[in-house]
Amino acid sequence: MNCCISPIQKARLAYEPKLPAALRAGANVKCEEGAKQPAFADTEKIAARFPNTSNMPLLTFAAGCGAKVEKPINVAVILSGGQAPGGHNVIAGLFDGLKSLNPESKLYGFKGGPSGLTDNKYIEITAEYLAAYRNTGGFDMIGSGRTKLETPEQFEKAEANCKALGITAVVIIGGDDSNTNACLLAEYYKAKNAGIIVVGCPKTIDGDLKNAFIETSFGFDTATKVYSELIGNIERDANSAKKYWHFIKLMGRSASHIALECGLRTQANVTLISEEVEAKNQTLDEVVTVIADSVAKRAANGENFGVCLIPEGLIEFIPDFKVLIAELNDILAHGAEVYAAITENDKKAEFILAKLTAKSAAVFASLPMEIKMQLTMDRDPHGNVQVSRIETEKLLTELVKNKLADWKKEGKFVGKFSSQTHFFGYEGRCSMPSNFDADYCYSLGFNASAIISTGKTGYMSSVRNLTAPAEQWIAGAIPLTAMMNMEHRHGEDKPVIKKALVELDGAPFKMLAANRDKWAVETSFVYPGPIQFFGPSEVADITTITLVLEKGK
């Protein structure tokens, strides 16, 4: 790591994360087994697929005596999937927890994600090496990757590599897909008595890996605060210049938690929630009308500016758009070569239109050419449209402009409409973790070492009661299978950890719904400013509005 660091980096390296009371004496904890936890859904199918790791009890930890264990424990750790603030602190907590069990314990970081475990690319993480990464953002300590661990061949390679280093536990830090793979790995090793424990840690800025025992995934707090600062800056600029509507797309393909949290934190004029659009069966035109209505009402008050927040995956939740995408995937799966040979965009569009159903053809025809081409560009490895590449913010801007032009002809709109578009994604994934995420991530890692000390496998590190001070957080573990259900993917049923979508009857969404008519018309902007690392707890240690509302605080 570069020895020339900024003053804030130097200060953050010195920060000492807080731990739950149960972990303060070390990772050799007292373990209480609670009720057995069946699968989230499809219990019989999950139990049949995971006979050795299903229906295991919930674990809750209490402080132990601090005694060392007799033998050192060697552990592998991997970062899997996209970056999220706090990943380095999970590793730091894991390292410190292992050393609390036995100072001779070793931690091996496998490089580049899951493939590092199978390709045997690793580094031993020492205290000196780790010192440069504590409380820092990013995953650059060992890197990450998206290789899936799901085949016996991969499991065997990983086992051989672990045994060569005397590794008896693997910690996988990742999201729902990564922890699904952790569950498969745990089951495989348990079935053959391989002697390798597998533990998961909940990571994703999207916020869609959560339940009663995983109150939030790490990184969500930091990322939404970073995005909210940027949105607040734009709101301040809009309120100063008074001439632009800003359309801001935010990360979150499968769920709208980021958009919801940022909407609550900044009180943007319009915050679209994909899950609501789907529940109400709204058409693309109806979504456009919601935005245009806010523009028109604000213009009538002389305010020709505003801010609209858009979840990344919105178009997949619009029913008529979802049908269109499915038809496009099918058309291009069978006619990719013919389509690729066409050079002119107009001809490409004609080729597609001729093969669509009448309803989908009408939707496709209404789109700007740029969006038509984005919808038909190269597919992902599974043959599906790459939604993240579709500039939904530009699509909505164009369609709102067209609708307002029609309304102006009819005398329904008398203002001006000028727009700017933005996409906030990478800006939030590698930020220095907030105090909350620094503490939470460190606790998750330390807690993972406690799980290992119990000899349990197939569990996810769980730290809850997160709206209380850190010493009151509850440390424990939830079986990975308890979060699973069966989903039909690529022609077959597969066990996967269920994604947590925005609950429309939940307190966070209800708070948005109760205020959005006012925010749509009035300038009610809130300017959150940057993350605060120092100062009183109510400034430096606050967590998300979402979590506070969900906990009824």
3-state secondary structure of 432: coil
Same domain, 424 and 314: yes
Same domain, 480 and 529: no
- Respond yes or no: is residue 293 known to be catalytic: no
pLDDT digits (tens, 9 = 90+) for 128-139: 999 999 999 999
Same domain, 91 and 229: no
- Residue 227's nearest CA partner among 268, 191, 199 is 268
Rg (CA), the chain: 25
Query: Residue 379's pLDDT is what?
Result: 66
Range of the domain at 58: 7-219+433-497
Same domain, 333 and 391: yes
Query: Residue 541's pLDDT is what?
Result: 93
Same domain, 463 and 534: no
Could you tell me if residue 2 is inside a domain?
no
3-state secondary structure of 255: coil
Task: Give me the number of domains the chain comprises.
Answer: 2
Euclidean distance between the first and final Cα of the chain, in Å?
Answer: 41
Could you tell me if residue 1 is inside a domain?
no
Query: Residue 329's pLDDT is what?
Result: 86
Could you tell me if residue 292 is inside a domain?
yes
Rounded to two decimals, the pTM is 0.94
The catalytic residue among 42, 96, 206, 320 is: 206
For residue 53, what are the CA distances in angstroms to 188, 299, 358, 456?
10, 59, 49, 10
- Provide the CATH number for the domain around residue 258: 3.40.50.460
Q: State the Cα–Cα distance between residues 66 and 100, nearest whole angstrom.
A: 8
3-state secondary structure of 110: strand
Q: State the Cα–Cα distance between residues 43 and 486, nearest whole angstrom.
A: 9
- Provide the CATH number for the domain around residue 470: 3.40.50.450
Same domain, 35 and 67: yes
Same domain, 84 and 157: yes
Same domain, 161 and 256: no
**C-beta neighbour count of 436 within 10 angstroms:** 25
Helix, strand counts (H, E) of the chain: 21, 16
Final residue of a structural domain among 476, 497, 518? 497
| Tokens linked to 531 | 């993350």
Residue ranges for the chain with pLDDT beneath 70: 1-3, 378-384, 490-491
Q: State the Cα–Cα distance between residues 438 and 86, nearest whole angstrom.
A: 6
Residues contacting residue 444 through CB under 8 Å, at least 6 positions apart: 90, 93, 201, 202, 218, 461, 463
Same domain, 114 and 195: yes
Q: How far is CA 286 from the centre of its chain?
A: 28
Same domain, 424 and 443: no
- Which H or E run contains 476? strand 474-479
Same domain, 37 and 170: yes
Q: State the Cα–Cα distance between residues 219 and 546, nearest whole angstrom.
A: 14
